[in-house]
Chains A and B, each alone.
Chain A
Amino acid sequence: MADRDLVDFLRRFILPLVRGGDVAVGRPIAVEELPSLEAQIPHSSPELAPVDDARTEVVAELVVRPPAMVFDIDELSLAACVHNLLFLVHPRADTWAVSASARRRVLETAQELAGRPLSHSRSRVLARHGLLHNIFRVNRVDTKISWWTGSATFLGQRPPQRLRTWRTLRRVREEQTVAGYDDLLGTVEVAPVVSALLRRAPLTQLLAMTREGPALFWEDAVFLLRDAELARAVAYRALRGNEPRQVVAAPARYAAALEQMLERAPAEADVRAVAAFLVHLNGLLALSEAGDGEAGRSPLLSGVLSPERAGQRQRGLATFFALPAALSMVDPRLAIPPGVEEDAVLADRWMRHRAQVLEGVGEATVDTLAGRLRRHLTPALPERASM
Chain B
Amino acid sequence: MDRRDLPRADWARSPAPARGGLEHVALGQTRFMTPGVAPDPRGIVLGRYGLLVFPTLEGVVSWLRLYSAESPLDELLSGLEITQARTPLGSREMAVRIPAISSYVLDRAARCALLVGGATYTGTAKHFVKYRDDRSPYGYDAADLTPLPPDATFMVHGEDFTQIYARERDLPLDRLLFRLSRRRLPGGDRLRPDERRELFLVVAHGLGEGVIRYLWRNRVSGRVGLVTPDRKSAFDEPGRTRSHLLFRVQELPGRILDLFLATPGIDVFRPLSENVAVEVGYAHPIDLASCQSLFEQSRFYLFWGADDRVDTVAAPLELSAIEHLTRLEITLDRPAVGDTLKIAALDAVGVPIELAPSLTPSRRVVGSLIPLTQAQWLKRLVYFLPQTSLRGHRVALTDRGLLVVASPDVDVIPLGTPLAEITSGLLVPLGFDLVPRVAPDVLARNLGHGAGMFTVFPPTGSPFQIGDTALVPLERRALAKIEIGTVDVMDARAEVAGEPSVTNDPVGRFALWGYRTPARDVQAGLPALPPRRRGESGRQGD
Contact = CB atoms under 8 A, between A and B. Distances in A.
A141 B504 CA distance: 10
Interface in A369-387: 375, 378-385, 387
B203 interface: no
Contact of A153 (B515, B517, B533, B540): B540
B529 A192 contact: no
Contacts of B523: 104, 108
In this complex, the member of A92, A97, A189, A264 whose beta carbon has the largest number of chain B beta carbons within 10 angstroms is A92
A104 to B, nearest CB: 6
Given A31-B519, A105-B517, A134 B497 contact: yes
A108 B523 CA distance: 7
A26 B102 contact: no
Interface in A17-38: 17-28, 30-32
Contact of A93 (B47, B511, B541): B511
Interface string B126-160: 00000000000000000000000000011000000
Contact of A138 (B502, B504, B507, B530): B502
Interface string A349-387: 000000000000000000000000001001111111101
B41 A24 contact: no
A23 B497 CA distance: 14
Contacts of B498: 19-21
B512 A23 contact: no
A104 B529 contact: yes
Nearest to A104: B529
B529 A57 contact: no
Interface in B493-519: 494-495, 497-505, 507-512, 514-519
B483 interface: no
Nearest to A15: B500
A137 B520 contact: no
Contact of B78 (A20, A144, A378): A378
Contact of A152 (B38, B526, B538): B538
In this complex, the member of A27, A140, A375 whose beta carbon has the largest number of chain B beta carbons within 10 angstroms is A27
A60 B494 contact: yes
Nearest to B509: A97
A103 interface: yes
Contacts of A103: 529, 532
A94 B530 CA distance: 13
Contacts of B488: none
A55 to B, nearest CB: 10
Contacts of B154: 387
Contacts of B80: 382
In this complex, the member of B78, B173, B530 whose beta carbon has the largest number of chain A beta carbons within 10 angstroms is B78
Contact of A1 (B505, B514, B529): B514
A280 interface: no
B526 A91 contact: no
Contacts of B39: 265
A47 interface: no
Given A139-B499, A140-B502, A153 B40 contact: no
A112 B518 contact: yes
A286 to B, nearest CB: 30
Interface in A130-174: 133-134, 137-141, 144, 150-157, 159
A330 interface: no
Interface residues of B, number: 64
A383 B78 contact: yes
B293 interface: yes
In this complex, the member of B78, B153, B173, B540 whose beta carbon has the largest number of chain A beta carbons within 10 angstroms is B540
Contacts of B537: 153
A144 B495 CA distance: 33
A100 interface: yes
B79 interface: yes
A58 B501 contact: no
B512 A98 contact: yes
Secondary structure of the B contact surface, majority rule: loop
B99 A268 contact: yes
Contacts of A381: 77-78, 293
B83 A387 contact: yes
Contact of B503 (A24, A264, A384, A385): A24
Contacts of B508: 92
Given A19-B497, A109-B518, A269 B101 contact: yes
Interface size range of chain A in the complex: 35 or more
B522 A102 contact: no
Contacts of B495: 19, 57
A115 interface: yes
A387 B94 CA distance: 13
B352 interface: no
B542 interface: yes
A111 interface: yes
Contacts of B293: 380-381
Contacts of A268: 78, 99, 101
B48 interface: yes
Interface string B83-109: 100000000000101011110000000
Nearest to B520: A112
Contacts of B525: 111, 192
A140 B499 CA distance: 10
B40 A265 contact: yes
B542 to A, nearest CB: 6
A98 B533 CA distance: 13
B84 to A, nearest CB: 12
A103 B498 CA distance: 30
Nearest to B74: A380
Contact of B167 (A89, A220, A387): A387
A72 B153 CA distance: 56
Contacts of B519: 31-32
The 3 closest A-B pairs by CB, nearest first: A20-B498, A378-B78, A26-B505
Given A26-B505, A105-B512, 18 more contacts: A17-B500, A20-B497, A24-B505, A25-B502, A25-B503, A91-B504, A91-B542, A92-B507, A94-B533, A103-B532, A104-B523, A105-B515, A109-B517, A137-B500, A139-B502, A153-B538, A184-B502, A378-B78
Interface of B: 38-41, 46-48, 77-81, 83, 95, 97, 99-102, 153-154, 167, 173, 293, 494-495, 497-505, 507-512, 514-520, 522-523, 525-527, 529-530, 532-533, 536-542
24 contacts: A19-B495, A20-B500, A23-B503, A25-B504, A90-B504, A90-B507, A92-B509, A97-B512, A98-B511, A100-B532, A104-B526, A106-B512, A108-B517, A108-B522, A134-B497, A139-B501, A144-B538, A156-B503, A159-B541, A192-B527, A380-B78, A381-B293, A382-B78, A384-B81
Interface of A: 1, 16-28, 30-32, 54, 57-58, 60-61, 86-87, 89-95, 97-98, 100, 102-109, 111-112, 115, 133-134, 137-141, 144, 150-157, 159, 184, 188-189, 192, 217, 219-220, 264-265, 267-269, 375, 378-385, 387
